[in-house]
């Protein structure tokens, strides 16, 4: 068994001090505990997912990983958001013996892909070029699914803002009941840096302090910091 690396990435213009990797940290920690592993290096990156050259932390990991090592991500969009470049880098690492684990996307994690390749080759089902085309298609499908989920979340929040009149006459600091709708929107906000705190406040008619309290509640901590993208 080789070494394990954890990689987290966010891409936003908000100043670094206000950015949070909480959801990714929780997922990566849980994966390590469930699989009895320890990360020898954990990278936190504030950079675009459209290329690999401008990512300092990613480049550092690439220089460290060797045959048999594993890089763990929460989901494939933390690895890349661009199908063509992402596929090329994926195959480069796969062929170098480096494992890629996408916790939320197991069907494109390299252990599954390697198993698929081995079965197909042993039974002489299809040519390797055809298998590689299939791998590329799987990556494209997963990237598209993640992106569509993100867009749906943003649209749902924006639609809610348009349909919900702003409340008035509320007491400062007053807490409403945490409704399923508000809880879902906060979870979407925590996982998507393009959703604005101000939009959630307007949609649900709550103050910044109230939103911060609910964020802290859902994160299981009191140090949640708000940002306006």
Residue 52 lies in a domain: yes
Within this chain, do residues 8 and 58 fall inside the same structural domain, yes or no? yes
Query: In this predicted structure, which of 57-71, 134-148, 155-169 has the lowest mean pLDDT?
Result: 155-169
Q: Report the CATH number at residue 39.
A: 3.40.50.1390
Amino acid 168: pLDDT? 43
Report how far residue 201's alpha carbon sits from residue 29's, in angstroms, rounded to the nearest whole number. 31
Q: Which domain holds residue 107?
A: 4-127
Within this chain, do residues 32 and 119 fall inside the same structural domain, yes or no? yes
Within this chain, do residues 16 and 92 fall inside the same structural domain, yes or no? yes
Residue 195 lies in a domain: yes
Report how far residue 92's alpha carbon sits from residue 87's, in angstroms, rounded to the nearest whole number. 8
Within this chain, do residues 157 and 119 fall inside the same structural domain, yes or no? no
Report how far residue 22's alpha carbon sits from residue 38's, in angstroms, rounded to the nearest whole number. 18
Within this chain, do residues 118 and 159 fall inside the same structural domain, yes or no? no
The per-residue pLDDT for range 98-142, each reduced to its tens digit, is: 999 999 999 899 999 888 888 777 777 666 667 778 888 888 888
Residue 31: C-alpha distances to residues 9, 10, 139 (Å):
17, 19, 21
Residue 77 lies in a domain: yes
Report how far residue 118's alpha carbon sits from residue 106's, in angstroms, rounded to the nearest whole number. 17
What strand order describes the sheet that includes 4-10?
39-46, 4-10, 70-73, 99-102
Amino acid 44: pLDDT? 93
Residue 133 lies in a domain: no
Question: Which position has the higher pLDDT, 94 or 136?
Answer: 94
Residue 139 lies in a domain: no
Residue 225 lies in a domain: no
Within this chain, do residues 121 and 8 fall inside the same structural domain, yes or no? yes
| Other Cβ atoms within 10 Å of 185 Cβ, number | 22
* Kind of pairing between the strands at 4-10 and 70-73: parallel
The per-residue pLDDT for range 68-93, each reduced to its tens digit, is: 999 999 999 899 988 888 889 999 99
Residue 135 lies in a domain: no
Amino acid 133: pLDDT? 81
Average pLDDT of the chain?
80
Quick one: which H or E segment has residue 42?
strand 39-46
Which of 127, 162, 188 is the last residue in one of the domains? 127
Within this chain, do residues 73 and 159 fall inside the same structural domain, yes or no? no
Within this chain, do residues 73 and 156 fall inside the same structural domain, yes or no? no
Number of separate domains in the chain: 2
Residue 134 lies in a domain: no
Which of 97, 127, 157 is the last residue in one of the domains? 127
Amino acid 102: pLDDT? 96
Report how far residue 178's alpha carbon sits from residue 133's, in angstroms, rounded to the nearest whole number. 46
């Amino acid at each position: 068994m080789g070494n394990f690396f954890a990689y987290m990435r966010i891409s936003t213009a908000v100043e670094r001090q206000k950015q949070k990797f909480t959801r990714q940290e929780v997922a990566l920690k849980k994966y390590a505990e469930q699989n009895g592993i320890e990360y020898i290096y954990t990278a936190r990156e504030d950079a675009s997912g459209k290329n690999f050259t401008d990512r300092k932390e990613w480049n550092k990991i690439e220089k460290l990983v060797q045959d048999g090592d594993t890089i763990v991500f929460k989901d494939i969009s933390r690895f890349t958001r661009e199908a063509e470049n992402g596929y090329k880098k994926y195959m480069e690492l796969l062929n170098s013996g480096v494992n890629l684990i996408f916790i939320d996307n197991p069907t494109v994690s390299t252990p599954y892909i390697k198993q698929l390749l081995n079965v197909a080759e042993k039974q002489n089902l299809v040519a390797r070029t055809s298998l590689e085309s299939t791998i590329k298609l799987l990556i494209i499908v997963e990237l598209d699914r993640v992106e569509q989920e993100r867009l749906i979340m943003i649209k749902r929040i924006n639609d809610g803002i348009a349909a919900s009149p702003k409340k008035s006459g509320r007491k400062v600091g007053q807490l409403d009941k945490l409704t399923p709708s508000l809880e879902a929107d906060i979870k979407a906000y925590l996982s998507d840096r393009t959703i604005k705190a101000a939009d959630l406040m307007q949609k649900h008619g709550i103050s910044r302090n109230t939103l911060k309290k609910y964020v802290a509640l859902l994160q299981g901590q009191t140090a949640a910091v708000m940002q306006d993208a």
